[in-house]
Amino acid sequence: MPHLRRAELDDIALEAADDALMSVLRRLDDFRGLSRFTTWAYKFALYEAAVKLRRRAWQQREVPMEQDGWDLLSSMSLQPDQEVEQAELLATIQRAIDLVLTPHQRRVLIALAVNGVPIDVLAERLGTTRGALYKTLHDARRKLRRQLATDGYSLGSPLEASQ
Amino acid sequence: MTQPAFAPLVERLLGPGATEIGCDACFDELDRYVDLQLLGQDADASIPGMREHLVGCPACREEHESLSALASQQA
């Protein structure tokens, strides 16, 4: 986070530590002893710090509009130096987004996947939670994959490459 | 806006394409998953859907990487 001053980082760290301590105390009864206590406790601190840093980094920034991401996808599929197969896949994905996604699914997918808005930032702006947004993203991706399969695309999983 | 690379963009749009857990379940299990990994045990078999979720969710993936780094110092 090079754009943050040292004092700001210290503030975020202190605030995150306070919030993490509250979370640990509130959820102490949930600790099942299936991991080390330190690992369990650290995850609250890291979560609080990560969410605060992401939100702080976007505090003064406008979340890009859905149209920006849509235009970016269109321009990529029309670029002359883009491989033909890649351009076709992008165009097919765009058609599928138009065809099968609800307006909310489309807005969430474009913001997270194309515009690169962190999920915690989008959750804050939309007044929802990371879990709820990810569910929307997951449902959108599933619908897109199903539509692409209908269109004749055989899509593997990125996990297959690493197995 | 800078153009993203093709393959990562498609991966972000289409996700892992496999059964995965959600962000809340990921948070609940993250400490156990990390400690199992550090012990050299089969964390993926113990917590099905976690690995797939970490592929699909950049925020949870980042927190997994941070917790792994921190917990490995305590090992």
DSSP A88-147: HHHHHHHHHHHHH--HHHHHHHIIIIIS---HHHHHHHHT--HHHHHHHHHHHHHHHHHH
Q: Which pLDDT score is estimated for B75?
A: 66
Question: How many structural domains is chain A composed of?
Answer: 2
- pLDDT tens-digit profile, chain B (75 residues): 566 788 889 999 999 999 999 999 999 999 999 999 999 999 999 999 999 999 999 999 999 999 999 999 986
Is position A160 within any domain? no
Is position B39 within any domain? yes
Is position B9 within any domain? no
Measure B3 CA to nearest chain A CA, in Å: 7
Nearest to A93 by CA among A121, A65, A69, A117: A69
- Contact across the interface for A158 and B11, Cβ inside 8 Å: yes
Looking at the partner chain, which of A46, A114, A158 has a beta carbon nearest the beta carbon of B16? Answer: A158
Type of residue numbered B32 = R
Report d(CA A7, CA A39) in Å as an integer. Answer: 27
- Contact across the interface for A138 and B15, Cβ inside 8 Å: yes
Residue B65 domain boundaries: 18-74
Q: Which pLDDT score is estimated for A140?
A: 97
User: Does the pLDDT of residue A139 top 90, yes or no?
Assistant: yes
Q: Identify whether residues A75 and A104 lie together within a single domain.
A: yes
Residues 6+ apart with CB under 8 A from B52: A157, A159, B16, B18, B19, B20, B21
Q: How far is CA B35 from CA A160, B25, B30, B75, in A?
A: 24, 16, 9, 9
Residue A134 domain boundaries: 66-155
- Contact across the interface for B31 and A90, Cβ inside 8 Å: no
Residue A37 — very low, low, confident or very high, per pLDDT cuts 50/70/90?
very high
Q: How far is CA B15 from CA A7, A20, A23, A47, B70, in A?
A: 38, 30, 30, 22, 27
Is position B70 within any domain? yes
Question: How many structural domains is chain B composed of?
Answer: 1
Give the predicted TM-score (pTM) of the model. 0.88
Q: What is the interface pTM, i.e. ipTM, of the complex?
A: 0.91
Nearest to A77 by CA among A68, A65, A64, A89: A89
Q: Identify whether residues A98 and A27 lie together within a single domain.
A: no
Measure B18 CA to nearest chain A CA, in Å: 7
Nearest to A44 by CA among B18, A35, A65: A35
- Contact across the interface for A76 and B23, Cβ inside 8 Å: no
Residues on chain A touching B39 (C-beta within 8 angstroms): none
Is position A147 within any domain? yes
Interface with chain B: mutation pick from A89, A134, A138, highest number of B CBs within 10 Å: A134
Q: Identify whether residues A133 and A74 lie together within a single domain.
A: yes
More confident residue, B59 or A86: B59
